[in-house]
Amino acid sequence: MWHAEVGKALPALWSASHHRGVQLHDLRSAVLVWARRYGQRAWLRQLEPPPGVEQENAVLRTIARLDGTPFPSTTQLAWRWLRGRAPVGTRPRKASSAALESTYCAEVVGITYEAMGLLPEGRDSNWYDPGRFWSGDDLGLTGGYRLGTEIAVEIPPA
């Protein structure tokens, strides 16, 4: 699972270290931690049609570029989220995702989807927030892509 981790519960797959920030995790391990430690449920939605080699390579390039980027402090997170809600003419110019000093979960997904050609380019990374990805129904994916129906992930007994 490719995401920005606020905690240090799981080892990152590429570095084998426990750290906050952008990283790859084993999806099964992450879901078990969420369910057993935090009482959370998990769902997934598959991309339809399945991504091609070009999209998969874009994900790998994005992982190579963003892996290890720190998670922002709570104050930085709130400020960036608020700036992302400001009218377009009042926002600072779009920062390159390669230049991000820190990034949060929804930014990682948005930047990755843009790199894959699934979302229109040109949005500030902080325009994305978790609410835009809860169901994905209002994302407006491009290129004929869409997210399939929600699939509940079954958690095995401890």
Domain boundaries, the chain: 46-152
Contact 133, 106 (CB under 8 A): yes
Contact 123, 91 (CB under 8 A): no
pLDDT of residue 145: 92
pLDDT along the chain (158 residues), means of 10: 88 88 92 91 91 96 92 86 71 53 88 93 81 73 89 90
Residue 33 parent element (H or E): helix 27-38
pLDDT of residue 32: 94
